[in-house]
A = this chain, B = another copy of it.
Amino acid sequence: MPHLRNILEDLELPIDGNGDLSVISPIDGSTIAKVFQTPLNEISQMAERSQTAFLKWRNIPAPRRGELVRLWGEELRACKEQIGTLISFEVGKILQEGLGEVQEAIDICDLCVGQSRQLFGKTITSERPEHRMMEQWHPLGPVAIITAFNFPCAVFAWNAANALICGDPIILKPSEKSPLSGIATLNALLRAIDKFGDEAPDDLAQAIIGGATHSKSLVSNPHMALVSATGSTSMGRSVALSVAQRFGRRILELGGNNAMIVTAHANLDLAVRAIVFGAVGTCGQRCTSLRRIFVHSSLSKELLNRIEQAYASLKIGNPLNEDTLVGPLIDKAAFEKFQSTLNRAKSEGGEVRSGGERVLEDIYSEAYYVTPAIVKMPTQTPIMREETFAPILYIVDYDDFDTAIHLHNDVPQGLSSCIISDNMQEVEYFLSVNGSDCGIANVNMGPSGAEIGGAFGGEKETGGDRETGSDAWRNYMRRTTNAINYSHDMPLAQGISFGRN
């Protein structure tokens, strides 16, 4: 990996370094850099400085704030190749996906620039003469952004671009497994801030390097008006409680256990293509990865065959190689979980049709490449109700569409979902209140790879919140309802008469 050093330099990141946190590449288990963790006792001061920045930033007109985000997008364009490559190094996803992630960050900047001239509230009719009502959306306060290892760039950018146009400073806490990509994305923002000039206050964007203890300290800090956290359900619950305790706000994007229904009217060409990308992309480590398939029994055999065939031709290996489609798992723990889950699946009646093996061990003894697993299950057993962050694809047959939907929804998570069908009744039913209970429900595509224009997030243990597109920006602001009396009298609402005729 000859050019990593150059990339790190270009991105203003420490080369090697001698900090207390080792950043390991899942590609070969080598140490990319050693970075310093933020001293825990600095967090409260950072939060305070963020609050100070807020008092200035909230008064910069939103379209000007949008200009900063536009400059950020320009910076990201300029180093798209580098950050994309770094993501591959640090996360292990293939370069195409690494680049796609940076593109997503660029896209959200573009969207937010436009939004900065909107942030629409409502004017509303009043029941009283010579009164006016409106609601305005005001900046909220400092935003903590806690990201997961698998999307170090895009998820940060979703939150930060929205927060910044909404008038909120940000503090990033990237995953300790992939801090560099997040910091590189932040550095691009800092360069944009430099170009933007004096209107940007100090400490508008800060970062904390560290682990769960750092997160907890940040989450509980009363200055953090909003905590946006991506990760596991247990982490999310802890954030939820900490923030609820102090009446803060939160955006949680937690576990997904995403499924596809392949109906009797499915186009299997589309199905297979959607399945493969959905299940093995990022080596099954996307929150929206496809994990469960419910296939109509009439197509079950053929589908299984075709998936197996497709899996057989997947190139597994170094994600920076152009023809690689499946990179490594993030670390040993992930591999062990992969193994133990497959064992549980087998013990619950599952048949591992293919995959499930560690490969390339001889080349990369410290890295964990695996063959993605296809597991035929007799029905939806308990292990299927859990999210395993690895390329395990469960397949269950169904005969009755209602059963398929029941099984689909019968898990604690509620992030993403999809149906493959050419039949309009099935499709519409799946999208209706009777269908998928997830935050995202797609048709004739996989569950992953959301566009930034729509609100992203899920129900149930996924957290219930939304970020990125649609009007998710409202999470980064507070609403004020205003009634203005410009008459020379003061009538009461609901026609109440109080001590006057």
Q: Which of A172-180, A295-303, A339-347, A476-484 contacts its partner?
A: A476-484
Kindly state the separation between the CA atoms of A444 and B424 in the bound complex, as whole angstroms: 10
A443 part of interface (Cβ distance < 8 Å): yes
Proximity string of chain A (213-246) to chain B, C-beta cutoff 8 Å, 1 when within and 0 when not: 0000000000000000000000011001101110
Proximity string of chain A (60-77) to chain B, C-beta cutoff 8 Å, 1 when within and 0 when not: 111110100010000000
A455 — which chain B residues lie within 8 A by C-beta? 135, 479, 481
Say whether A118 contacts B124, CB under 8 Å.
yes
Proximity string of chain A (446-461) to chain B, C-beta cutoff 8 Å, 1 when within and 0 when not: 0001111111100111
Kindly state the separation between the CA atoms of A245 and B60 in the bound complex, as whole angstroms: 38
A273 — which chain B residues lie within 8 A by C-beta? 490
Kindly state the separation between the CA atoms of A111 and B481 in the bound complex, as whole angstroms: 17
Name the CB-closest residue of B to A417. B480
Name the CB-closest residue of B to A133. B454
Q: Which of A96-104, A183-191, A349-357, A375-383 contacts its partner?
A: A96-104
A112 part of interface (Cβ distance < 8 Å): yes
State how many residues of chain A have any CB contact under 8 Å with chain B: 126
Say whether B485 contacts A445, CB under 8 Å.
yes
Kindly state the separation between the CA atoms of A496 and B131 in the bound complex, as whole angstroms: 35
Say whether B127 contacts A61, CB under 8 Å.
yes
Say whether A490 contacts B125, CB under 8 Å.
no
A336 part of interface (Cβ distance < 8 Å): no
A137 — which chain B residues lie within 8 A by C-beta? 123
A464 part of interface (Cβ distance < 8 Å): yes
A497 part of interface (Cβ distance < 8 Å): yes
Name the CB-closest residue of B to A243. B244
Partner of A244, one of B134, B241, B270: B241
Kindly state the separation between the CA atoms of A428 and B72 in the bound complex, as whole angstroms: 32
A136 part of interface (Cβ distance < 8 Å): yes
Kindly state the separation between the CA atoms of A137 and B63 in the bound complex, as whole angstroms: 24
Kindly state the separation between the CA atoms of A325 and B496 in the bound complex, as whole angstroms: 12
Kindly state the separation between the CA atoms of A473 and B62 in the bound complex, as whole angstroms: 21
Partner of A498, one of B115, B281, B479: B281
User: A465 to nearest B CB, angstroms?
Assistant: 10
Kindly state the separation between the CA atoms of A67 and B315 in the bound complex, as whole angstroms: 33
Kindly state the separation between the CA atoms of A237 and B244 in the bound complex, as whole angstroms: 7
Say whether B97 contacts A482, CB under 8 Å.
no
A499 part of interface (Cβ distance < 8 Å): yes
Kindly state the separation between the CA atoms of A424 and B485 in the bound complex, as whole angstroms: 9
Known: A434-B59, A441-B480. A425 touches B124 (CB 8 A): no
Say whether A442 contacts B247, CB under 8 Å.
no
Kindly state the separation between the CA atoms of A484 and B59 in the bound complex, as whole angstroms: 16
Given A59-B433, A133-B451, 16 new contacts (CB under 8 A): A61-B128, A99-B496, A103-B494, A117-B452, A120-B124, A121-B122, A122-B471, A125-B453, A237-B247, A314-B499, A431-B482, A437-B478, A439-B481, A441-B480, A443-B484, A450-B493
Between A and B, 14 residue pairs with Cβ closer than 8 Å are A63-B107, A63-B127, A101-B494, A107-B117, A111-B114, A114-B118, A123-B135, A128-B451, A133-B454, A423-B424, A424-B427, A442-B483, A443-B486, A444-B485
